[in-house]
Amino acid sequence: MQLKQKSAIVTGSTSGIGLGIARAFAEQGADVLLNGFGNLDEIESTRSELQREFGVQVLYSGADMGRPDQIRAMAELATARFGKVDIVVNNAGIQHVAPVEQFPDEKWDSVLAINLSSAFHLIKAVVPGMKQRRWGRIVNVASAHGLTASPFKSAYVAAKHGMVGLGKTVGIELAEFGITCNTICPGYVKTPLVEKQIADQAKAHGIKPEDVVRDVMLVHQARKEFVKVEELAALAVFLASDAGASMTAAAITMDGGWTQH
């Protein structure tokens, strides 16, 4: 198993991409801390199922990724229970769609806080231990919108571009300590967040949801298919493994050819 005796924090991992990555890490032998919102009974069921199925330790933290103090407390919990934090996946994200002149100030602030600042705060919390052990893996989950733009998503696009820049800076800063930092830039993945975006885009454009999928979301994805969570999870496992040691400060697209359109 590629990640045996490693431990990981995966933010935004109670559903969607984050849960897929957390599952893949557990399957590869890593202890995992789940984080996110949702029905607590369902989250506990997921946590216990992963722990039982893969024989690893699985924790849950409901830390609010918009709160730096809660992010630090989550890192401390993982360190106390696992003994160390080897891998961090910054995946937590929210979305709001609106024309820039109508974009609510509080939505801008919350999107930037959860989609970008949370990654900074978690990286800051775990890097001292990684430096001491001279090994660490940081994987940021951005978006094709970290490299290109779409209308009505000013906060999201700004945050994801910032995530790519953060990953490049951290990657080169920590390279000599055996720590890598890379940013995955997926195209559209069929997750609860994207389901909401379909509805929001339909409203913004005044078109049907199925038209949003065909004419807005996948119009630039040459493959004309949603990216699979399992594909992203496999890439995250590679980046978190010893095989990914020479890959750092990279922005890696898995977007069906979208950003090359």
Nearest residue to 238 via CA among 35, 3, 29: 3
- Token look-up 């949801």 returns 209
Residue 188: band (very low, low, confident or very high) from pLDDT cuts 50, 70, 90: confident
- Domains of the chain in sequence order: 7-189+228-260 (3.40.50.720)
The answer to whether 156 is a known catalytic residue is: yes
Q: In angstroms, how far is the first alpha carbon of the chain from the final one?
A: 37
**62-89: pLDDT as tens digits:** 999 999 999 999 999 999 999 999 999 9
Over range 181-199, report the average pLDDT: 87
Q: What's the whole-number average pLDDT of the chain? A: 95
Over range 45-50, report the average pLDDT: 98
pLDDT reported for residue 197? 78
Indicate if the pLDDT at residue 246 is higher than 80: yes
How far lies 146's CA from each of 6, 158, 176, 252, in Å?
29, 8, 26, 10
**114-150: pLDDT as tens digits:** 999 999 999 999 999 999 999 999 999 999 999 999 9
pLDDT reported for residue 1? 78
3-state secondary structure the chain: CCCCCCEEEECCCCCHHHHHHHHHHHHCCCEEEEECCCCHHHHHHHHHHHHHHHCCCEEEECCCCCCHHHHHHHHHHHHHHHCCCCEEEECCCCCCCCCHHHCCHHHHHHHHHHHHHHHHHHHHHHHHHHHHHCCEEEEEECCHHHCCCCCCCHHHHHHHHHHHHHHHHHHHHHHHHCEEEEEEEECCECCHHHHHHHHHHHHHHCCCHHHHHHHHHCCCCCCCCCECHHHHHHHHHHHHCHHHCCCCCCEEEECCCHHHC
Indicate if the pLDDT at residue 194 is higher than 90: no
Over range 209-233, report the average pLDDT: 88
Exactly one of 156, 188, 226, 258 is catalytic; which is it? 156
Residue 212: band (very low, low, confident or very high) from pLDDT cuts 50, 70, 90: confident
Question: Which has more pLDDT, 201 or 50?
Answer: 50
